[in-house]
A and B are shown apart, each in its own frame.
Chain A
Amino acid sequence: MSTTKKIAVTALSALLGASTLAACGGGSGDGSAGADGGGSRTVTLVAHDSFNASPEVLEEFTEETGHTVRVLKSGDAVEALNKEILTKGSPQGDVFFGVDNTTLSRALGNDLFTPYEAEGLERVPEAVRLDPGRHRVTPVDSGDICVNYDRKYFADRDLAPPQTLDDLAEPAYRNLLVVENPERSSPGLGFLLGTAAAYGDDGWQDYWKKLRANGVKVVDSWEIAYNQEFSGSAGGRAAKGDRPLVVSYASSPPVEVLYAEPRPKTAPTGVSTGTCFRQIEAAGLLAGARNEAGGRALLDFLISKRFQEDMPLNMFVNPVAEDAELPPLFAEFGEVVAEPRTMAPEKIAENRDQWIQSWSSLVLR
């Protein structure tokens, strides 16, 4: 008898010990990781790994509103969103950033967000408002997924770089393009959607047959495509990449300039502006957020001029607020995409999985 009791007592105390240990950890982490009690002034922003903001800008938010921002990076865009769906009702934070036109329906279908019309939304054009009328999400930035080219490669050969999707299927560009698997990578998916938008529900498959016949290479991630295979990027040059065409972003050329030492006079890469698909990223107030007031203030802040102007050089995307000015680096080395392709989130939701499946059997097998 006494033995059993002793075991039970020991087990219980050990359990308590373990949770105390854990609780201590929770309290004494990095300064900002305090417990999120009711009266907390910490607002937690759950975002994908690419989210970045200047510390000064976040401090300004704290000065203005009294809320301290804690950023929680939660994996790539799809993974981060899926985690929020899994923990629906008991969210990890207050605001989620990183839902876009390719994933919006999944988020809205799962009722992840509490509607809120952010202050200053009138400065954001109708064209990029993803959930007009209901305001479950607030648009924050837009970016164009486009084919990038290696300037030196084409200059050396006296060959004009391709400008349109049609060009990519031309024999002159045989074995030059590397793309990402749309099943596993968001630029890859954006590019596929772009071709579907350009050639229609049936035509895009023929287009991809032509691309395949023209030697398109598929890799799993943007990192591999851009940093290993693409001959125009710094990483790709180091890795002796031999594909001068890659699916990346319209903002990639300024980045190549920003991180080169010494800075070159012209960007080593260019953008094929006729190949672009527009991605719009948004944020929303998570249902069940513990700091709703802070969350609302943060949404207002995300579309404020201050934050919008800070964003381009941190995340390499374009601001959505009309009063935000692009940094000179973007104006000088970036390219303006006049007519990117777009697609309604509902249409993407309806077709995405089936298109990816057809694509896989068409291109990978």
Chain B
Amino acid sequence: MVLARPEVAEAPAGNAGPRGRSPSRGKAFPRGAAARAALLALPVAFFALFFAFPVASIVGRGLRAGDSWHLGRIAEVVGRPDILGVLWFTLWQALASTGLTLLIALPGAYVLARLDFPGKDLLRAVVTVPFVLPTVVVGTAFLALLGRGGLLDALWGVRLDATVWAILLAHVFFNYAVVVRTVGGLWAQLDPRQEEAARVLGAGRFTAWRRVTLPALAPAVAAAALMVFLFTFTSFGVVQILGGPAYTTLEVEIYRQTAQVLDLPTAAVLTLVQFAAVGAILAVHARTVRRRETALRLVDPSHTAHRPRGAAQRALLGSVLATVGLLIAAPLAVLVERSFGGPGGYGLVFYRALQSAEASGGTFLVPPLEAVWNSLRYALAATAIALLVGSLAAAALALPRSASGKASTAGRVVRGFDALLMLPLGVSAVTVGFGFLITLDEPPLELRTSWILVPLAQALVGVPFVVRTMLPVLRAVDARLREAAAVLGASPLRVWREVDLPLVRRALLVAAGFAFAVSLGEFGATVFIARPDNPTLPVAVARLLGRPGELNYGQAMALSTILMLVCAAALLLLDRLRPDRSAGEF
């Protein structure tokens, strides 16, 4: 999402020009390379230890027999009709989900970018909440909406559970924010006068939009589409909960082959297939981002939005509000409603039950409410790790590139690492989790049963968001400021503290906030890691849902509601903190 968005800020920053024009160009390369290597050491070590090594080990376990590799298995597995069926379904549902998400969310992007109305900030936060909610909660909420007795059923007698429509709509629910934030963020900064100029010159309203605005938005739309495609291509929880036995994606199949069937060769091949697909998506994504025009005239978003004018704009605003209400607010509202429900009418029974271990009937050794504390603790640790690793990586990637021929090699390595940092978003959580199990089993890295494993896994997902948020801001820092400071005798650390830090502090806060929200809702990796009994919120919800009894079900709804509120609060706070020039960024 985001992932692409901040790159846009590169253009308006304008003062990115001096990079590569360092006065000490000749000597800059070795010095820059050493600095870059020093900065990259920790991120590289982190990814090698906690991502590449575990994933490679578990895949290797599947593809090696004795001392030799059995790569023939790849063709063998991929040729199986059932696997081909899974691949085909994974592909077309991702394409369909992406198309549907764009169709439904683009009007939303426009409305949030260009129209001004009361409650806009709240609306922006509401549409983003699903993105950080765990799928187990969303699946339950969605069943309540689309399933039997749900809102659709009550109004029109339509039931969509266990159909592919449930999956597609849930994907829209999850990824609406990706489009709204990525496209809307740019849209808000496009100068409306360009379109107006075209109209003055005689173009019709639609022609002006098609010839002026659309081309400017196209790269952002492509970037958003690719991110939605990535997320839906690797969809796990939604498909597991809403799909029923008939629908299986690659990610679900990897889980099944690894955790349930223990057919590691098949799982390894599928992991490689997914790896290749995700790699390709990220490569196209990186190109799209690079191709983004720098010639766009971007303006302060606060000047582009206006009150809705005319019937058409009011109708558009109305329909967007209705869509958001039905698709996003309604499932969340059902969740809240059920958390207050009870045998004797509405009340706080379930919330009160969360405070005692006894009421949970031994589901946990501690009151379920303690899961809130666990989640916060884990999320704080994960945020600290993601910030440390992500900022170092961003700082390295933002170092001035020297202009010599060698630089292009260095540039490629850097870009390669940049893409590598995003891979965890597309690699199956069960692969990472099971990789941890077989690799981190010896001191000093005997971490399999340590609590630190949860934040480490969550940080893997948080780092890409930190890098994407920090990178454009760091690149925009005028290199001449640093040079001036250095010339005046400041040490590198002092330069960082006096020049860079004040400029990036806000971006750092935003990155921290987002890493925090993502960690809070992270479910996939956390659920595959064995842990002493201190569950996170999403895990606690899943466990409560796994037991019979009204009180357990109600407590699951109540905990979900709490999680939702914490996420929404974090997001609202983020919107207040975001850097002025880049509305819509996380």
- A-side residues, CB < 8 A to B, are 3, 6-7, 10-11, 13-15, 17-19, 21-26, 29-30, 32-33, 35, 44, 46, 49-50, 52-55, 70-75, 78-79, 82-83, 85-87, 90, 92-93, 106, 181, 183-184, 218-220, 222-224, 226-228, 233-235, 238-242, 248, 252, 255-256, 258-262, 313-314, 364
Contact = CB atoms under 8 A, between A and B. Distances in A.
A82 B162 CA distance: 29
28 contacts: A6-B37, A11-B41, A11-B44, A15-B41, A18-B42, A22-B445, A24-B452, A26-B446, A29-B451, A30-B532, A32-B532, A33-B450, A35-B443, A49-B543, A82-B260, A86-B434, A220-B244, A227-B545, A227-B553, A228-B143, A233-B549, A240-B149, A256-B549, A258-B361, A259-B548, A260-B550, A261-B551, A313-B361
Nearest to A29: B451
Nearest to A33: B532
Nearest to B341: A238
Contacts of A226: 548
B316 interface: no
Given A184-B260, A227-B545, A233-B549, 9 more contacts: A7-B41, A17-B42, A55-B357, A73-B531, A75-B530, A183-B245, A183-B260, A223-B545, A238-B341
B548 A79 contact: no
A18 B40 CA distance: 13
Contacts of B302: none
Given A82-B262, A239-B144, A90 B441 contact: yes
B55 to A, nearest CB: 14
A234 B260 contact: no
Most buried by B among A22, A49, A240: A22
Contacts of A261: 342-343, 349, 550-551
B241 interface: yes
B31 to A, nearest CB: 9
Contacts of B548: 226-227, 233-235, 248, 252, 255-256, 259
A15 B48 CA distance: 10
Contacts of B256: 183-184
Contacts of B33: 3
Interface string B65-81: 00000000000000000
B251 to A, nearest CB: 15
Nearest to A70: B532
Nearest to A220: B245
Nearest to A25: B452
A313 B362 contact: yes
B200 interface: no
B41 A14 contact: yes
A72 B42 CA distance: 30
B23 interface: no
Of the four ranges (under 10, 10 to 19, 20 to 34, 35 or more), the interface on chain B belongs to: 35 or more
Contacts of B61: 86
Contacts of A25: 381, 447, 450-452, 455-456
Given A54-B362, A87-B438, A92 B549 contact: no
B26 to A, nearest CB: 15
A52 B552 CA distance: 15
A36 B38 CA distance: 35
B45 A258 contact: no
Contacts of A222: 546
Contacts of A75: 259, 527-528, 530
Contact of B34 (A3, A71, A183): A3
A140 to B, nearest CB: 16
Contact of B532 (A29, A87, A181, A258): A29
Nearest to B448: A92
Contacts, number: 210
Interface in B535-560: 543, 545-554
A235 B44 CA distance: 47
A33 B551 contact: no
Contacts of B343: 260-262
B407 to A, nearest CB: 15
Nearest to A311: B362
B219 interface: no
A106 B260 CA distance: 12
A46 B530 contact: yes
Interface string B328-372: 000000000010011100000100000001000111010000000
A50 B363 CA distance: 8
A123 to B, nearest CB: 24
Contacts of A92: 437, 448-449, 530
B546 A73 contact: no
A223 B437 contact: no
A78 B260 contact: yes
Given A11-B37, A54-B362, A75-B530, A234 B143 contact: no
Contacts of A21: 385
A342 to B, nearest CB: 23
A224 B361 contact: no
A324 to B, nearest CB: 17
A220 to B, nearest CB: 5
B202 interface: no
A360 to B, nearest CB: 8
Contacts of B451: 25, 29-30, 33
A226 to B, nearest CB: 6
